[in-house]
Chains A and B, each alone.
Chain A
Amino acid sequence: MTVTESPFIGGIVGESRLRHEDPALLTGESKFIDDLQIPGALWVACVRSPHAHARITGIDTSAALATDGVVAVYTGDDLADAWAAPLPCAWPVTDDMKNPAHHPVAQGKANYAGDIVAVVVAESRYAAADGLEGVVVDYEPLDAVVTMEDAETDRVVIHEDCGTNVSYVWPLVPDPEAVEAAFADATHHITETFVHQRLIPTAMEPRGVVAVPAPHNGDMTLYSSTQIPHVLKVMAALTLGIPEQKLRVIAPSVGGGFGCKLNVYAEEIICMALAQRHGVPVRWTEGRTEAAVSTIQGRAQRQTIELASDADGKLTAVRATLLADMGAYLQLVAPGVPLLGAFLYHGLYDVPVYSFTCKGVFTNLTPTDAYRGAGRPEATYAIERAMDALAVAVGVGPDEIRSRNFIPTEKFPYDSPAGLTFDSGNYQPTLDRAKELIDWDGRRAEQAERRAAGSTTHLGIGISSYVEMCGLAPSRTLAALNYGAGGWESATVRILPTCKVQVVTGTTPHGQGHETCWSMIVADQLGIDPDDVEVLHSDTAISPLGMDTYGSRSLAVGGTAIWMATEQVIDKARAIAAHMLEANADDLEFAGGTFSVKGSPDKEVPLAGVAFGAFTAHDLPDGMEPNLQAQVTFDPSNFVFPFGTHIAVVEVDEATGAVELIDYAAVDDCGNQINPLIVEGQLHGGIVQGVAQALWEDAAYDADGQCRAANLADYLVPSAAECIDMKLDHTVTPSPSNPMGVKGIGEAGTIASTPAVMNAVVDALRPMGITDITMPASPMTVRRAIEAAQGDSA
Chain B
Amino acid sequence: MIPAAVDYVRADSAEAAIAALAEAGDEAKLLAGGQSLVPLMRLRLATPSVLVDIGRLDGLAGISVDGDTVGIGALTTHSALEHSADLAAACPLLAHVAAQVGDPAVRHRGTLGGSLAHADPASDLPAAVLALGGTLVATGPGGSREIAATDFFTGFLESVLGPDELLTEVRVPVSTGGWCYQKFNRRAQDWAIVGVVVAEGGAGVALVNMGSTPMRAAGVEAAVAAGASAGDAASAAADGTEPPTDNNADGDYRAHLARVLTERALVAAGA
- A43 closest partner in B (C-beta): B2
How far, in Å, is A709 (CB) from chain B's closest CB? 6
Q: How far is the CA of A37 from the CA of B184 in the complex (A)?
A: 44
Q: How far is the CA of A656 from the CA of B193 in the complex (A)?
A: 11
Tell me which residues across on chain B come within 8 A of A719, comparing CB atoms.
Answer: 103, 187-189
B253 in contact with A783 (CB, 8 Å): yes
**Contact with B250, one of A696, A718, A780 (Cβ below 8 angstroms):** A780
Q: With A125-B2, A129-B2 as given contacts, are A779 and B188 in contact (CB-CB < 8 Å)?
A: no
Q: How many residues of B contact A (CB 8 A)?
A: 24
Any B CB within 8 A of the CB of A658: yes
**Contact with B187, one of A125, A700, A721, A784 (Cβ below 8 angstroms):** A721
Q: How far is the CA of A695 from the CA of B187 in the complex (A)?
A: 11
Question: A759-791 CB contact bits vs B (8 Å, 1 = yes)?
Answer: 000000000000000000011100110000000
How far, in Å, is A720 (CB) from chain B's closest CB? 9
Tell me which residues across on chain B come within 8 A of A709, comparing CB atoms.
Answer: 247
Any B CB within 8 A of the CB of A19: no
Question: A665-709 CB contact bits vs B (8 Å, 1 = yes)?
Answer: 000000000000000000000000000000110101000000011
Main DSSP-derived SS at the B contact region: loop
Q: With A700-B247, A780-B249, A780-B250 as given contacts, are A713 and B184 in contact (CB-CB < 8 Å)?
A: no
Tell me which residues across on chain A come within 8 A of B5, comparing CB atoms.
Answer: 126, 130
Any A CB within 8 A of the CB of B260: yes
- A722 closest partner in B (C-beta): B187
Tell me which residues across on chain A come within 8 A of B193, comparing CB atoms.
Answer: 779
Any B CB within 8 A of the CB of A445: no
B247 in contact with A696 (CB, 8 Å): no
How far, in Å, is B84 (CB) from chain A's closest CB? 23
Any B CB within 8 A of the CB of A617: no
Q: How far is the CA of A695 from the CA of B5 in the complex (A)?
A: 40
Tell me which residues across on chain B come within 8 A of A783, comparing CB atoms.
Answer: 253, 256
A655 in contact with B260 (CB, 8 Å): yes
- B103 closest partner in A (C-beta): A719
Question: B174-186 CB contact bits vs A (8 Å, 1 = yes)?
Answer: 0000000000101
Any B CB within 8 A of the CB of A714: yes
How far, in Å, is A534 (CB) from chain B's closest CB? 36
Question: B1-16 CB contact bits vs A (8 Å, 1 = yes)?
Answer: 1101100000000000
Q: How far is the CA of A29 from the CA of B257 in the complex (A)?
A: 47
Question: B239-271 CB contact bits vs A (8 Å, 1 = yes)?
Answer: 000000011111001001100110000000000
Any B CB within 8 A of the CB of A716: yes
A716 in contact with B187 (CB, 8 Å): yes
Q: How far is the CA of A696 from the CA of B187 in the complex (A)?
A: 9
Tell me which residues across on chain A come within 8 A of B246, comparing CB atoms.
Answer: 714
Any A CB within 8 A of the CB of B228: no
Assuming A721-B188, A779-B253, what are 10 further A-B pairs, CB within 8 angstroms?
A130-B5, A287-B1, A289-B1, A656-B261, A714-B247, A716-B190, A719-B189, A722-B188, A778-B186, A778-B248
User: Which residues of B are interface residues toward A (Cβ below 8 A)?
Assistant: 1-2, 4-5, 43, 103, 184, 186-191, 193, 246-250, 253, 256-257, 260-261
Q: List 20 A-B contacts (CB under 8 A).
A: A126-B5, A130-B4, A287-B1, A287-B2, A288-B1, A655-B260, A656-B261, A700-B247, A713-B191, A714-B246, A716-B186, A716-B187, A718-B187, A719-B103, A721-B103, A721-B188, A722-B187, A778-B186, A779-B193, A779-B249
